[in-house]
Structure 1
């Protein structure tokens, strides 16, 4: 039986441990339950086991069989209700690079930016 949270669940996909910890802290402080993955493959495994993930927050440059943009498209194709936020400090992404409704936040981002964006997308 998959665990279901009362708070919206956000999956953070980030291969850099310190950046992942920082993102997790910001998202938890905004009132969400957070799951963590260090690669796209790990994220897919989590999504296959959980039915309550509402949003993925993924870095674009991640290791594994796909980068964050490919992950975003894969998640949108397989789990269309899941919202998608991508981030990067190295590349810029336009709306045409993302699945419908996907958002891009450049690094470095602030707690206020993330909190506002998640609230806008999940409420």
Structure 2
């Protein structure tokens, strides 16, 4: 019996600094993930409303312009779409995993490519299914 092909896991990258956003997208794509991205929480919520069924992990920076920071965005995403796993990063704000909803993880900047990939894979491996 042949198994049905599985689609790549979709990671949503939200980062206001274009170079950092592109670097994270490239790293995740090279690791075999599908990605979408946004530059702030306002755009991110618009995209989530359209693609919430597909998104498996939200990877967001804390400090960014807009009406919400990354922690508020993670909280809102968890409230509306609890199946989405949360990975939050920052170079200017020190958080702990306990500061994030639903067993989210905090990744301090600057991070290594291997650390980002292992954090995403770890979240997915431990994450709840939908």
Please classify the TM superposition score into its range, dividing by the shorter chain length: over 0.9
Structure 2 equivalent of residue 41 of structure 1: 42
Distance 2:82 2:102 in 1: 10
Count of residues in Structure 1 that have an aligned counterpart in Structure 2:
119
Q: What is the TM-score normalised by the length of structure 2?
A: 0.88
Q: What is the TM-score normalised by the length of structure 1?
A: 0.93
Distance 2:123 2:30 in 1: 17
Secondary structure at 2:76 match in 1: helix
Structure 2 equivalent of residue 110 of structure 1: 112
Structure (1 or 2) with the larger CA radius of gyration: 2
Secondary structure at 1:65 match in 2: coil
List gaps (5 residues or longer) in structure 1.
none
**Cα offset, 1:122, TM superposition:** 1.3
Structure 1 equivalent of residue 76 of structure 2: 74
**Cα offset, 1:95, TM superposition:** 2.6
Distance 1:96 1:114 in 2: 19
C-alpha RMSD of matched pairs (Å): 1.1
Where relative contact order (Cα < 8 A, 6+ residues apart) is larger, the structure is 1
Distance 1:66 1:87 in 2: 15
Runs of 4+ with deviation above 3 angstroms: none
